[in-house]
Structure 1
Amino acid sequence: MSVEAIRLEKVNVTFTQKEKQVNAVKDVTLSVEKGDIYGIVGYSGAGKSTLVRVINLLQKPTSGRVEVNGEVLFEKNSADEKIISAKKLRARRRKIGMIFQHFNLLNEQTVIQNVAFALKHSNLKEKNITIKAQKLLDLVGLSEKADAYPTQLSGGQQQRVAIARALANDPDILISDEGTSALDPKNTIQILDLLQKINKELGLTVVLITHEMDAVKRIANKIAVMEDGQIIERGDLISIFTNAKEKLTREFLGGGSTKAIATLKEYELGKLADDERLVQLIYMGSKVSEPILVKLYRDFNVEANIIYSNIEVLGKTPIGTLFVILKGTEDNRKKALDYLEKQEVIIKNIEEHEVQKNG
């Protein structure tokens, strides 16, 4: 049975900016289960960071309910407001680690001192603080940099220090707010892989706030898409990837459907003959390497003209997408599609109005 690490119910955040009321988060309900790597994506200004700051009440909601690890931290409906005491909130915040785009390290202190700084209010003796800080540096792969200063490190190494510091108080939840946005592609991959390692080895729940869909594709198991303060689409990553409903989600997914639709418009669907049918095929796992289209011609006398093809890797799962024009008799096309369904290939019919709508 799944257990919720985070539960937000009907959360609203409204504030005044330059004498104008801004509705940054609008009636958001969100559930993150323990052990998830939950990606929240959207363009700048979508409300992602504001929503995440609600989790540890760095941003107090205007209304709604905030529950973390089964404990209600905040609840407000109409004029009735309940909020956890300041003392308890400080303790709960220590169990929610955070990393940011800018690493916020103390440049005048060494790497190990930066990590130890997060433990200064703990009950550990100074010797044990140093031991724990060193173990955290080992975990993030920086044991040899303990006595270096932040300015002597690369951006990726500085973010590793920030992650070690965020783990100092043994949090249950780790929030990455655009934690890879300032890094080059190589360091981005390394930091994402480190977050995945921490998720697995320490059992942490990770909330990944980003505008970079590739980051979510690499490590997240669930995703929510935000626009204008609202969640417009959510679900497990593979389901969203294979069956995105919203145009913004398809834009974030990138390459696949967006480029395919552009190619389809150039093809001019009106040119399809009576014995042709346009379909999208989505297949995953070991099916990616199988010669599916060859079998259609060999076994069913159906030709497959590839309009667009692409392979993505979501987590560890390869997902193949094909937009193809199937040419053959109606009976043969049906037999070919029946065969594909038995092979667990997802089939979507593409009609002319869909291309016009999604273009």
Structure 2
Amino acid sequence: MAVEAIRLEKVSVTFTQKNKKVDAVKDVTLHVEKGDIYGIVGYSGAGKSTLVRVINLLQRPTSGKVEVNGETLYEKDSSGEKIISDKKLREKRRKIGMIFQHFNLLNEQTVIQNVAFALKHSNLKEKNILEKSKKLLELVDLSDKADVYPAQLSGGQQQRVAIARALANDPDILISDEGTSALDPKNTIQILDLLKEINEKLGLTVVLITHEMDAVKRIANKIAVMEEGQIIERGDLISIFTDAKEKLTREFLGGGSAKALATLQEYELGKLAEDERLVQLIYMGSKVSEPILVKLYRDFNVEANIIYSNIEVLRGTPIGTLFVILKGNNDSRNKAITYLKEQGVIIKAVKEQDVKKNG
């Protein structure tokens, strides 16, 4: 049974601004398992950052329950409010590293001093702090920059320093709150790959807050989509990518979903011939490069008219999506579909009402 690193139950956060009530987070339940890279996506103002600040109680909920590594940090319901002591909360916070969009480095201190600063209140001796800081810089590939100042570094290098600092207290959880938003595409890829490497090497749970779907596609194994303070869709990355239910999710996904539906709008699916069926085919890995559709005509006398195709790479795995009209008699089509399923292809029938509803 999977062990949960983070468990939020019915969490709400309400602010009052200019005598107006603002529900930033509304009754959100979220379970993140140990070792996950969990992407939380949504447009600006969706409540993503507020939600993750609840995890270490930098933002105290208005109601709900917060558990980290099986220990309740906060709980508030109709019976009252419970919160762990300030001392225990400080200890818990040290085990939850955070990186932000703007790095928050100390410009007047060197790179290694910035990392060492996070160990200021540890029980380590000065010599051990220096040794640990050097090892952390080695982990983020900045050993040669130990004695330079942040202003002398690129944005990507500054974020690497911030990551090293966030890892200083050996956290179990690392939260990236728009950690790549200020970076160019090349540095974004490098930082994302570093986060994945840290997740694998150190066994850290990573929570990735972003409005950039490409970041989630590259490293996350699970995803939650937020809108107006609520999670509107969640699941493992491939399931969400191949079968998104919500319009906003499809907008974020882009190529694999939104474009496909836009293309399908142009077809009068109700006018398909009696021997035609529209289906979605989803295939992954090595199957992407195999001539599967050619075999349908050769072996089953079924024509496959491709009306949309797309290939995405999710966590290093190519995922192909095809919308095709299969043309042939009923028996031939059924045999062709059985063959496709035997090849590991996911097949979904597409109906006109589905396209209209989801467009």
TM-score category of the 2 structures, normalised to the smaller one: over 0.9
Per the TM alignment, residue 18 of structure 1 is displaced from its structure 2 partner at its CA by 2.0
Per the TM alignment, residue 195 of structure 1 is displaced from its structure 2 partner at its CA by 0.3
Paired amino acid for 1:240: I
* SS of alignment partner, residue 120 of structure 1: coil
1:76 equivalent in structure 2:
76
Per the TM alignment, residue 266 of structure 1 is displaced from its structure 2 partner at its CA by 2.1
Equivalent-residue separation in structure 2 for 1:263 and 1:32 (angstroms)? 36
Per the TM alignment, residue 241 of structure 1 is displaced from its structure 2 partner at its CA by 1.4
Per the TM alignment, residue 196 of structure 1 is displaced from its structure 2 partner at its CA by 0.5
1:164 equivalent in structure 2:
164
The answer to whether the aligner puts 1:23 opposite 2:23 as a matched pair is yes
Per the TM alignment, residue 295 of structure 1 is displaced from its structure 2 partner at its CA by 0.6
Equivalent-residue separation in structure 1 for 2:149 and 2:5 (angstroms)? 35
Q: TM-score w.r.t. structure 1 length? A: 0.98
Equivalent-residue separation in structure 1 for 2:172 and 2:241 (angstroms)? 28
Equivalent-residue separation in structure 2 for 1:309 and 1:216 (angstroms)? 21
* SS of alignment partner, residue 194 of structure 1: helix
How many aligned positions are there? Answer: 359
* SS of alignment partner, residue 46 of structure 2: coil
2:145 equivalent in structure 1:
145
Per the TM alignment, residue 270 of structure 1 is displaced from its structure 2 partner at its CA by 4.2
Paired amino acid for 2:93: R
Paired amino acid for 2:317: T
Match runs of 1:196-235 below 5 Å = 196-235=196-235
Paired amino acid for 1:214: D
Per the TM alignment, residue 79 of structure 1 is displaced from its structure 2 partner at its CA by 4.8
Equivalent-residue separation in structure 2 for 1:174 and 1:270 (angstroms)? 50
Equivalent-residue separation in structure 2 for 1:305 and 1:248 (angstroms)? 29
2:308 equivalent in structure 1:
308
Equivalent-residue separation in structure 1 for 2:323 and 2:191 (angstroms)? 34
2:341 equivalent in structure 1:
341
Per the TM alignment, residue 231 of structure 1 is displaced from its structure 2 partner at its CA by 1.0
1:261 equivalent in structure 2:
261
Equivalent-residue separation in structure 1 for 2:261 and 2:7 (angstroms)? 37
1:119 equivalent in structure 2:
119
Equivalent-residue separation in structure 2 for 1:268 and 1:235 (angstroms)? 32
8 Å CA contact 2:9, 2:64 repeated in 1: yes
Per the TM alignment, residue 271 of structure 1 is displaced from its structure 2 partner at its CA by 4.2
The answer to whether the aligner puts 1:50 opposite 2:74 as a matched pair is no
Equivalent-residue separation in structure 2 for 1:200 and 1:176 (angstroms)? 16
* SS of alignment partner, residue 341 of structure 2: helix
Equivalent-residue separation in structure 2 for 1:89 and 1:257 (angstroms)? 43
Equivalent-residue separation in structure 2 for 1:134 and 1:345 (angstroms)? 48
Equivalent-residue separation in structure 2 for 1:256 and 1:122 (angstroms)? 48
The answer to whether the aligner puts 1:275 opposite 2:245 as a matched pair is no
Equivalent-residue separation in structure 1 for 2:270 and 2:202 (angstroms)? 56
Equivalent-residue separation in structure 2 for 1:142 and 1:98 (angstroms)? 19
* Larger displacement relative to structure 2 (269-278 or 178-187): 269-278
* SS of alignment partner, residue 159 of structure 2: helix
Equivalent-residue separation in structure 2 for 1:200 and 1:40 (angstroms)? 20
Equivalent-residue separation in structure 1 for 2:280 and 2:342 (angstroms)? 16
Paired amino acid for 2:85: S
Equivalent-residue separation in structure 1 for 2:130 and 2:348 (angstroms)? 58
Paired amino acid for 2:255: G
* Larger displacement relative to structure 2 (265-274 or 195-204): 265-274
Equivalent-residue separation in structure 1 for 2:12 and 2:267 (angstroms)? 45
Which consecutive unaligned segments of at least 5 residues does structure 2 have?
A: none
Equivalent-residue separation in structure 2 for 1:355 and 1:298 (angstroms)? 30
Per the TM alignment, residue 278 of structure 1 is displaced from its structure 2 partner at its CA by 1.1
In angstroms, what is the RMSD of aligned CA positions?
1.1
Q: Deviations 1:278-320 (Å, cap 9, x if unpaired)?
A: 1110011221121110010100111111111111111122111
Equivalent-residue separation in structure 2 for 1:296 and 1:184 (angstroms)? 44
Paired amino acid for 1:190: Q
* SS of alignment partner, residue 32 of structure 2: strand
Equivalent-residue separation in structure 2 for 1:340 and 1:251 (angstroms)? 29
1:324 equivalent in structure 2:
324
* SS of alignment partner, residue 170 of structure 1: coil
1:9 equivalent in structure 2:
9
Match runs of 1:240-255 below 5 Å = 240-255=240-255
